[in-house]
Structure 1
Amino acid sequence: MATQHILQISELTRKVKFILESELNTVWLCGEISNFIAASSGHWYLSLKDSKSQVRCAMFKGNNRRVRLASGSTPRNGQQVLVRAKVSLYEPRGDFQLIIEMMEDAGEGLLRQQFEQLKSKLNAQGLFAQQFKQAIPKNINTVGIVTSPTGAAVKDIISVLQRRNPAITIVIYPALVQGEHAKNDIVHAIDIANQREECQVLIVGRGGGSLEDLWSFNEEDVVNAIFHSRIPIISAVGHEIDTTLSDLVADLRAPTPSAAAELVSQDNSELQNRLQELSKRAQQLFTQKVKEENSYLKNLNHRLTQVQPERKLQQHQQKSDELNIRLDKAIKRELVRFKQKPEKLVRDLQHVDPTKVINQHQSTLRHLDDRLQRALDVSVKNKSEHFVSIIEQLHIVSPLATIARGYSVSRNSHQQIVRTKDQVNIGDEISIQVIDGRILSQVIDKI
């Protein structure tokens, strides 16, 4: 004990908070809202639960102002939601909690999450890269259309083509564009068009709708069919504000089906060249701007992690909300006690015998003394058990405990933890932490 550092409670909670926030960072959760409180400060406090567990959450007013749910702008108990949150610890009470940054309805929110996950996967595979996109031919004579033969989209496309260039031949490849079998229909229609080779460009699309209505054009099979098509494809799905994965992989994206028809019937070569030049310049400017903004954002994030004023302010505001709630309850208890005080005085006056009162008070005092002693014993026992539990939990999350089980932690020359082989180069020196010390090694190969 003489050589061990005795932690203060605040020091322990600060260390646990650092471990939680640095290891878990941001998580996505789907659960049911319970114990919802909208504080007077504008912050929300609630619990998210499933059939087995629940966790306390806080959502500060800077974030909850952007919440738009099907039931309105304020959540309600029993509602299923999807949230993006940061794992944290409320230091004044030592409570594990989530700081919610975004909240939306579970149904469409899950679709958006699936959209973003598939988008990242396909983007990593290079399906959206500009270098693989085919140029749209000039002076088009034959246009293929993959859509529903009875929908409004095909009528709009035909109407625009006939008005702008009646000489263009139109070939319709019918396909379902919504529902369970739409994915296979769209893929089949694109394959048929490529086998027949009877048109110079394909317009693939449909009219507007919800995210669920347009989901066929976010299917991985459809995206791959568009990517591998030998015929250049123009995606024309929904309205201008709608964006699907088919739009991103297509050789050209049109904001509406009518706009796609205008693009393929455009025969002004000078304007087309100008458009390509402007697109290339815009892409270059956009890429450069993204690099600059990313660099600026990294700098801001670094500075923010040093000071974290917002997090400290949020903690103070949360503590203030808690004190206000406790103060309200205390005032109500005092009001009830003052209302009952006259009735108590009347009862006391009816018992004027001092001997009886003294004996009664002595008996009450002994009873209260016994209760106090038992309560102290129980409290000491509970605190001891709770402290042991905290020590055990801290030991579980400790990296030293993990190392003791046979694992090790590798760090590069900058003392950064090596998680992937791309973080080191051949010839780099690395430090390997084991249970009884460190091992210095040199990278001679990466497999």
Structure 2
Amino acid sequence: MAGKGQQMQLTFDTAETNCPQSKQIAPVMENSTLDAVAREEPNDPAVLSVSQLAERIRDAIDTPQLTNVCVQGEITGYRPHSSGHLYFSLSEHGDESATMPCVMWKYAAKTVSFPVKDGALVQATGYVDFYPPYGKMQFVIKKLEPAVSGKTGLYLLKEQWKKQLTEEGTIPRTETARRCPPLFPTTVGVVTSRTGAVLQDIRNVIGRRYPLNIILAHTAVQGEGAHQQIAAAIASLQGKADVIIVARGGGSFEDLFEFNHPDVVRAIAGSAVPVISAIGHETDTTLADFAADRRVPTPSAAAETVVPDRTVLLQQLEEMRRSIRDNLSGRFSDEKSSLAELRVRVDPIRLARKLDQMQQQTADFAERITAALSRKISAEREAYKIQKENIIRLTRTKIATARLELLAEKEVIYGRNPYKPLELGYALVWKEGKLIRTAANMNERDQLSLQLVDGIVTAVVEKISYDRDTTEPNL
């Protein structure tokens, strides 16, 4: 008997057997609670209530054989509840089918990391319980994982890896992150099996199109543990090849499954060398295709992708050679014509005649320049003479005009001289040093000084007469 808490692996047996217990989920041991209860019951059992019977059933199934067990089966009748609980059944189809109702409570359902749906092959870990309200047995699941056996289980595992690699940013490779293989590589690395036809196909294509060095990183391409060899092979080619081809021939989903492993995908995504994925056929898709720099449908197509076609290169080279030859031939012809024309132009007799003509033209130019200069000098001399006469005439006119203006100004100045009128018999009258202009400014007996043209006379006022009526003098 398994100890309390020990997990047991249970599967639905589909093989025919004569054992009457083959239809049971787990064999009932001789010292089980059911046997103990049976031995204790008398020949005439007591009458039990339904709840008492349900309690006995729950006590009977509370054994290590039905607690913390792992069951593998296919999901059927999947019914998710709005509360978050999951209801479905686990079944196994064969000659003898079996079905187990299951429930997964909300707290446990939150831990499921893959899509749960009908037909999915899973491994469920939990315990068997009896639900009295409905009077039925059910398997209470605490942990649900995709079963790795079978195509359905592999598909679920692939989807789980895809979700994990997408969340960490490993796939898909963005267009900006994709690298193009070099146009003219010197070494191509191939990750595949040395015994398969894939390697020979790649060698044949490269040998026909563009022979170069091929480095084989041998690895198993299917089977348990192949993903580790594939990842190691990719790492071994770093720094040794200009481009890497990861190739495998066609096969089933199971055969190609190792190329979905995260180790392989991360090795391709982390490669410093461009990686070409050529796994399976065109319709086959693995997670490695999402991490590669380029995905091609077949290994032969991968070989055609990484190397150019030398036949095409030779044709292009021949076309370029022909174009260069035609271009050079045309240029030689043009230069030949130019050279012939130049030869005619530099003929000695022709050149001497040309020099004589140039000398005659030079003499003519010198004579024409001399005559022109003479005419120019004569014209400038005559213009200078005329300009000189004009300047002299204008200067004399200017001087005469200035002399007249000076005389006029002199007359004006003389006319404004206060002593000029004294020559006509006028006199200036001064009183106590002040010039007297009117009789009103004088009084009788004032002593006056009379300024005459030739001297000063002192006089005394005896009488003052006014020319107009004035009551009193204007002092």
Which structure has the greater CA radius of gyration? 2
For the criterion TM > 0.5, the same-fold answer is: no
TM-score (norm 2): 0.37
TM-score (norm 1): 0.39
